[in-house]
Amino acid sequence: MYYSVFEVFRIGVGPSSSHTVGPMTAANTFLAELGAQGVMGDVKRVRARLYGSLALTGVGHATDFAVIAGLLGEVPEDTDPLIAHQRVALVRNTKTLQLGCGGPAVDFDPVEDLVFHKDKFLAEHPNGMLLEAFDGDGATLHHNAYFSIGGGAVLDRAAITSEPRDGAEVDVRAVRYPFANAAELLAQCQRHNLSIPDLIWQNELAYQDEDATRQRLLKVWSVMQMSLDRGLSSTEEFLPGGLKVRRRAPTLYRKACEATGKRTGDFRAMDTVSAFAIAVNEENASGGKVVTAPTNGSAGVIPAVLGYVTRLMHADEDQAELERYITRFLLTSAGIGMLYKKNASISAAEMGCQGEIGVSCSMAAAGLAAVLGASNAQIENAAEIGMEHNLGMTCDPIGGLVQVPCIERNSMGAMKAINAARLAMASDGEHLVSLDAVIETMRQTGQDLQSKYKETSTGGLAATVVYC
Ligand code: SF4
């Protein structure tokens, strides 16, 4: 079993990878199935049923928008969020939906045809949805259940119940240096005298050639940077959704740039990284385009830490050298993210926030260590520290919106990641808790967390904070 780097880093839209990107992708898949079965032309009506966490936090996480946009044929990686929202608004007004992929215009009343089953969970996964298509007599032409398993990845019922769980994985024989856990990754590196990023690079060539791999990595960084810059320069005062949360990134960044002297100047780098992380996640909260890293809720951590490398530490380097840092960082981070996807989960509905911010912190710590010249053992140690101090973190977004505590958590995740890399590099890589042990601990802790702390907005801050 193996993941591509680009199954860890997916380009999509905010605010949630599991609740926005995943459902949009599921709707795209449903359209493809209608076409493959030759029934697309007969469809007169479609209906979507959302279950469990998708229903409980679906409105705050824009799942309703995502399903309609996906049925219209909008694809997460290519969609222009502004245009997609206009198209979805038209569906709400006209109660007519032009199915994508060359499909017909069908009846679709979001009030009746988008059903939120808040008290029901499908057995296979907390993020379940059912899509149905009917003919003019109301007979079912096609239906399928889909599960948004985290980070924008989606499996249908057949795939989630088959082993292995991840239909998108490439056969291990196609990958040059397979590994199932961190210990095997380190052993492969040692056996073949490779660094972690070099090994991940070699494996990625099972998916596409060197040039395409490099271009895709740089595109990921380009989308990350665009979200960062949009967030830093936004002129909007408030985030959408009704909590009246102010956008802070532009002011934070301006103050960090102007900071001088003992009281503020000493914190300049820290405040800049914080502004970067918050900028990306304010964009995510606004439904903008971001990269899942490994999820949307945690999309700001890696751009903030990699931005620290490219914009602060190495701002004077030439483009070729910067690209070397960027690719090494992203390859290393993705390699660590794969371990969490494979041996635990990056779904907050399964793991709580430790599976989002905790994993992104771990990935960023490893990426930073790699570009700072750490040994493989130190990189593994950095990733381990990055998770160890996020264990048990619950998911409790107030109002079901990916805003509070989510946005600040990205800043905290980025800070911890930098500290984790520094701590790891201050030692020789020897440490008591292995990365594999901490991933297994995260998995067990996630299983033990009550469901009210796993992306349902029924516990934690979501339950104790009153807002109007
Ligand atoms: S609390 Fe954490 S896991 Fe939950 S939505 Fe916010 S960022 Fe995601």
- Residues 203-241 have pLDDT tens digits of 999 999 999 999 999 999 999 999 999 999 999 999 999
Same domain, 145 and 95: yes
Q: What is the pLDDT of residue 100?
A: 96
Rounded CA separation 97/109 (Å): 9
Q: Is 56 a pocket residue for ligand 1 (Cβ < 6 Å)? A: no
The mean pLDDT value for 65-72 works out to 98
Q: What is the mean pLDDT of residues 306-329?
A: 96
* Residue 382 forms part of a structural domain: yes
Listed residues 131, 161, 191: the one ending a domain:
161
Ligand 1: nearest atom to the Cα of 296: 8
The pLDDT tens digits for 18-56 are 999 999 999 999 999 999 999 999 999 999 999 999 999
Give the pLDDT band (50/70/90) at residue 172: low
With respect to residue 168, please indicate whether it lies within any of the assigned structural domains.
no
- Does the beta carbon of 357 sit less than 6 angstroms from any atom of ligand 1? yes
CATH of the domain at 37: 3.30.1330.90
Q: Tokens 């934070």 correspond to what residue?
A: 252
Same domain, 134 and 201: no
Helix (H, G, I), strand (E, B) or coil at 184: helix
pTM (predicted TM-score): 0.94
DSSP conformation class of 247: P
On whether residue 441 sits in a domain, the answer given is: yes
Question: What is residue 167's predicted lDDT score, i.e. its pLDDT?
Answer: 43
What value does the mean pLDDT of the chain take? 95
Instruction: List all residues 6 or more positions away from 22 whose beta carbon is below 8 Å from its beta carbon.
Output: 66, 127, 146, 148, 149, 150, 152, 153, 154
Q: Which two tokens stand for residue 77?
A: 């990686």
How many domains is the chain partitioned into structurally?
Answer: 2
pLDDT score at 166: 47
Q: Which domain-ending residue is among 130, 161, 192?
A: 161
Distance from Cα 452 to the centre of ligand 1, integer Å: 13
Kindly state the average pLDDT of the residues 322-328: 98
198 and 319 both lie in a single domain: yes
pLDDT for res 101? 83
Segment 295-320 mean pLDDT = 96
Tell which atom from ligand 1 comes closest to the C-alpha of 455: 4
Q: What whole-number distance in Å separates Cα of residue 468 and Cα of residue 466?
A: 7
Same domain, 408 and 454: yes
Nearest to 56 by CA among 19, 23, 85, 21: 19
Which residue's CA lies nearest to atom 1 of ligand 1? 395
Tell me: do 377 and 413 sit in the same domain.
yes
Q: Is the CB of 46 under 6 A from ligand 1?
A: no
125 lies in the same domain as 69: yes
Q: Are residue 219 and residue 352 in the same domain, yes or no?
A: yes
Which is the closest atom of ligand 1 to the Cα of 348?
A: 3
For residue 261, what pLDDT is reported? 79
Same domain membership, residue 65 and residue 39 = yes
Residues 6+ apart with CB under 8 A from 13: 20, 21, 24, 66, 76, 79, 81, 84, 287, 288, 289, 290
Distances (CA, A) of 460 to 82, 118, 179, 181, 407: 33, 18, 37, 32, 16
What is the 8-class DSSP label of residue 37?
A: T
| pLDDT for 173 beyond 60 | no
Contact 352, 449 (CB under 8 A): yes
Q: What is the domain extent for residue 73? A: 5-161
Per-residue pLDDT at 76 = 96
Q: Could you tell me how many residues make up the chain?
A: 468
Q: Is the CB of 60 under 6 A from ligand 1?
A: no
∠ CA 130-291-169, rounded to 5°: 60
Please indicate, yes or no, if residue 171 is contained in any of the structural domains.
Answer: no
- Check residue 74 and report its DSSP letter: -
120 and 185 housed in the same domain: no
pLDDT band at 180 (very low <50, low <70, confident <90, very high): very high
In a domain, 58, yes or no: yes
Residue 409 CB–ligand 1 contact under 6 Å: yes
Whether residue 188 sits in one domain with residue 131 = no
297 lines ligand 1 (CB under 6 A): yes
User: Considering the domain boundaries, does residue 170 fall inside one?
Assistant: no
Please give the distance, rounded to the nearest whole angstrom, from the Cα atom of residue 54 to the centre of ligand 1: 14
For residue range 253-294, what is the model confidence (pLDDT) as tens digits? Answer: 999 999 887 777 789 999 999 999 999 999 999 999 999 999
Indicate whether 149 and 196 sit together in one domain.
no
Specify the pLDDT at position 465.
95
Q: Is 244 inside a domain boundary?
A: yes
Is 404 near ligand 1, meaning CB less than 6 Å away?
no
User: pLDDT over 70 for what percent of the chain?
Assistant: 97
Whether 170 has a pLDDT exceeding 70, the answer reads no
- Sign of the C-alpha dihedral, residues 5, 346, 14, 55? positive
Ramachandran angles phi, psi of 156, nearest 5°: -90, 180
Interval 86-114 mean pLDDT: 96
Sign of the alpha-carbon torsion through 455, 396, 85, 249:
negative
Q: Are residues 40 and 103 in the same domain?
A: yes
Query: Which amino acid residue places its CA nearest to atom 4 of ligand 1?
Result: 395
Instruction: Give which of 407, 446, 55 is closest to 227, Cα–Cα.
Output: 407
- Please report whether residue 113 resides in a domain: yes
pLDDT tens, residue by residue, 371-429: 999 999 999 999 999 999 999 999 999 999 999 999 999 999 999 999 999 999 999 98
Q: Would you say 388 and 438 are in contact if contact means Cβ atoms under 8 Å apart?
A: yes
**Closest ligand 1 atom to Cα of 57:** 5
